[in-house]
Amino acid sequence: MPQTFQFGRFSVSRIEEMLTPGFDPAFLFPEYTSEILATQPLLSGEGFWHAASGKLMSSMHSWLIRTEDHVILIDTGCGNGKYRALPLFERFHQLNKPYLQQLALAGVQPHHVTLVINTHLHVDHVGWNTQWRNGAWTPTFPNAKYIFGQHEFKHWSAGGEGLQRLPENQAVIEDSVVPIVQAGLHELADDGAEIIPGLRMHDLSGHTQGQMMVMLDDGHRCAVFPGDALHQPMQIYEPTWNSRFCELQDIAIASRMRLLEHCADRGACLFPAHFGRPHGGWVHRQGEHFSFQPLQTHELV
């Protein structure tokens, strides 16, 4: 059974696509120094660090949010059977992962999903938007509205800068975004858009020009789904470390700082897109810095 976390009328579950060693930290973070593993032992624990290969643990998953009326998926991983034979995307090429079975274990069938929210339109966030059916890429969740950030959608459309910066993403847009638009299932959200009561999308640009985060607030407790503003918990300790995939360097750092301040000051639980086990947690202020407290087993239901 997937892990589930309860926020008043919202439940949050992780739907795994894969959990593997990912990038070498020096590749992912150009400013990386290994000292951080000595000064913050949490980061070299097996949840976040794969000692045998010296690589960072990397999770691909969706966050499933359920209310009485809604079944919502935030980000949709890499998808099965997609042609990603480029060196940068090797890990995502022609996958055959039991993602929909994981979703079924949580009691959800594709037709139950009412909303899909893509924080941004990178290869590892839109994959299960579609699946190969009857000779075409078709929406996996036929009854869902798919929500893209207004600015992010333009960024990857003709005339936007996205494909000039990252031409590798062209096939991704073609097989995982365009079929949604052609099926008339997409909607565009602006900064601050209320998706359903208690759930809003806000600008968190920097990683991509139009990345958005999802903020959950049940009136008492808050949670944040920040997409790739943070790839790894070490960025909580070193918020100026951008990943090599961040498009706007200064804005990415400013957004990350704003996110961490919000999590620490509001007590918002952080549910990033790629953290290793246990995949989410709390951010605390520590003097002028921040620290991370992973979710504990007893916090899960």
Question: Which residues lie near Zn ion (CB under 5 A)?
Answer: 124, 228
69 forms bridges with which residues in the sheet?
none
By C-beta, is 245 or 282 nearer to Zn ion? 245
The nearest distance, CB 228 to Zn ion, in angstroms, is 4
8-state DSSP, 36: H
Helix H or strand E segment including 167: none
Q: What are residue 45's DSSP bridge partners?
A: none
Q: Minimum distance between the CB of residue 125 and Zn ion, rounded to whole angstroms?
A: 6
Nearest to 223, CA basis, from 279, 277, 178, 146: 279
Q: Which helix (H) or strand (E) holds 100?
A: helix 99-105
CA-derived radius of gyration, the chain: 18
First to last CA, the chain: 11
Give whichever of 201 and 264 is closer to Zn ion, judged by the CB atom.
201
Q: Assign 252 to helix, strand or coil.
A: helix
Decide: 278 and 294 in contact? Cβ < 8 Å: yes
In the complex with Zn ion, the residue whose CB is nearer, 58 or 102, is 58
Least distance CB 162 / Zn ion (angstroms) = 15
Helix (H, G, I), strand (E, B) or coil at 147: strand
Question: Smallest distance from the beta carbon of 180 to Zn ion, in angstroms?
Answer: 19
- Shortest distance in whole angstroms from residue 202 CB to Zn ion: 18
Between 66 and 279, CB nearer to Zn ion: 279
Name the phi and psi angles at 264, rounded to 5. Answer: -70, -45
Q: Compute the least distance from the CB of residue 184 to Zn ion, in Å.
A: 27
Minimum CB distance to Zn ion smaller for 272 or for 294: 272
28 or 223, CB closer to Zn ion? 28
Tokens of 147: 């929500």
CB of 142 to Zn ion, least distance (A): 25
Distance CA 150, CA 147 (A): 9
Nearest Cα to Cα of residue 23 among 248, 297, 274: 274
Select 123 or 216, whichever has its Cβ closest to Zn ion: 123
